[in-house]
Amino acid sequence: MAEEVDHIGIIVDNLEETIKIYRLIGLEVKEIESSVDLKSKLAFLPVGGTSIELIEFQDPVLAGSILSLDVSQKGMHHVALRVPDLGQALSRLRKHDLRLLSGPSKGSRGSKVAWLDPRDTGKVLIELVERSK
């Protein structure tokens, strides 16, 4: 079902300062976008066939959002797995009673996404991502 790791999301205090550190490691920003819904800035740094997504939130607590957590906790946030057909993937997961936090919905970079409930995934927040063809 999952084809590859699409990206790894990391919450940071200061996007610009963190980007400087990743540049020292040899990574470059491919794109930056803002999310009005999540009150955040996102930077995507490709590495191999995946990306690191750096996330700077302007709102320290996003109660009621798909994240439903205190985003003041910095560090590893989620793993995003690319799937060829999000609808088909969700249908399969529902047959096994896996719960969704949210989705399908519009994601970053023109994608469709859904979020799996960490209670069903070993306490890991997993985002399923379908990229437009």
Residue 98 near residue 128, CB atoms below 8 Å: no
More confident residue, 53 or 39: 53
Structural domain spans, the chain: 4-130
Exposed/middle/buried for residue 107 (C-beta within 10 Å: 0-12, 13-18, 19+) = buried
Give me the chain's average pLDDT, please. 85
Average pLDDT over residues 27-53: 90
Segment 2-27 shows an average pLDDT of 90
Number of C-alpha atoms within 13 angstroms, CB side, residue 117?
A: 9
Place of tokens 């750096």: 54
pLDDT digits (tens, 9 = 90+) for 73-127: 677 778 999 999 999 999 988 898 888 988 799 988 889 999 988 888 878 888 9
Find the radius of gyration of the CA atoms of the chain. 15
pTM of the model: 0.76
Average pLDDT over residues 4-16: 90
Average pLDDT rounded to a whole number, residues 6-13: 89
How many CA atoms lie less than 13 Å away from 26 in the CB half-sphere? 2
pLDDT, residue 66, reads: 53
pLDDT at position 63, please?
42
Is the pLDDT confidence value at 62 over 80? no
82, 65 contact by CB (below 8 A): no
What CATH number labels 4-130?
A: 3.10.180.10
